[in-house]
Amino acid sequence: MKAKDIMTTRVVAVRPETPVKQIASQLLAHHISAVPVLDKHDRLVGIVSEGDLLHRVETGTAARHRSYWLELFTGEERRADEYVKSHGRKAADVMTKDVVTVGEDTPVQEIAGILESRQIKRVPVVREGRVVGIVSRANLMQGIATAQDLLDAEPSDEAIRQQLNAELAHQGWSHLLTTNVIVNAGIVEFWGFVGSEAEQKASRVAAENIKGVRTVVDRRTVMPVLPSYA
């Protein structure tokens, strides 16, 4: 399973000049944890997540109380960046510019590793610099649920045929050398010759016990099989 198999293609995005208040409203309205920031050419230039909005002057969470010693070791540039993050009025001020992205063919297991190691909740899917989707933790859960549905799905005609032939091969009453099994759309058909009506019935029961078999049609001619002598 790959990113393109589970990604959300209807992406909610903002522009660098989008106000922070509007971004917060978008996150709430769409029940998402982050939005990509696109330039005028629709190329990804950043992402604004809930984490980027944790320390804001509007909510009184802007000030970070550090000890005297920590304050000494926090550079002026770092403090200036934090001020912009907490007081900036638009997406360009608060967005994370170093955005982790994946491609459409990135395996799901690799995406799961990225989300875990980076401690993020979603990752943009890009094609030639443009965002074509988003894979979130919720999408991964949906992928798991879908995969389980696939596991529970009806087996293919070829799988049914192989399972039935394997079952008959283990039965002493079955004569596979004179029997051909064809499966089409879940309908099992026996062709050839059969040693007895009892074998016909047993073959039918064997087929009906295989998942995915809709009905059984036995077109074999009953012809007693003579015992062979060494």
How many CB atoms within 10 Å of residue 90? 19
Mean pLDDT (whole number) for 60-83 = 65
- pLDDT, one tens digit per residue, over 87-98 is 888 999 999 998
Rounded Cα distance, 107 and 125, in Å: 12
Position 78 scores a pLDDT of 74
pLDDT of residue 67: 53
The average pLDDT across 3-13 equals: 89
Decide if 160 contacts 183 (C-beta within 8 A): yes
What are the residues whose beta carbons fall under 8 Å from the beta carbon of 137, sequence distance 6 or more?
115, 121, 122
The band of 68, judged by pLDDT with boundaries at 50, 70 and 90, is low
- pLDDT single digits (tens) 99-118: 999 999 999 999 999 999 98
Which two three-digit tokens encode residue 84?
Answer: 């912009």
Is 80 exceeded by the pLDDT of residue 71?
Answer: no
What are phi and psi for residue 17, nearest 5 degrees? Answer: -90, 0
Could you read off the pLDDT of 13-37 as tens digits, one per residue? 999 999 999 999 999 998 888 999 9
Name the band, by pLDDT with cuts 50, 70 and 90, for residue 230: very low
pLDDT at residue number 82 = 78
- Asked if the model's pLDDT at residue 176 lies above 90, the reply is no
The pTM of this model reads 0.59
Is residue 141 pLDDT above 60, yes or no?
yes
Q: What is the 3-state secondary structure (H, E, C) of the chain?
A: CEHHHHCECCCCCECCCCEHHHHHHHHHHHCCCEEEEECCCCEEEEEEEHHHHCCCHHHCCCCCCCCHHHHHHCCHHHHHHHHHHHHCCEHHHHCECCCCCECCCCEHHHHHHHHHHHCCCEEEEEECCEEEEEEEHHHHHHHHHHHHHHHCCCCCHHHHHHHHHHHHHCCCCCCHHHEEEEEECCEEEEEEEECCHHHHHHHHHHHHCCCCCCEEEECCEECCCCCCCC
* Six-digit token string for 22: 């509007």
Percent of the chain residues past pLDDT 90, beyond the cut = 53
Instruction: Report the pLDDT value the prediction gives residue 101, as an integer from 0 to 100.
Output: 94
Looking at every residue in the chain, the average pLDDT score rounds to 86
Do the Cβ atoms of 200 and 220 come closer than 8 Å? yes
* Lowest-pLDDT range of 162-166, 174-178, 195-199: 174-178
Q: Are 112 and 139 in contact (CB under 8 A)?
A: no
Q: Is the pLDDT of residue 201 over 90?
A: yes
Going along the chain from its start, the domains and CATH numbers come out as 3-150 (3.10.580.10), 157-222 (3.30.1340.30)
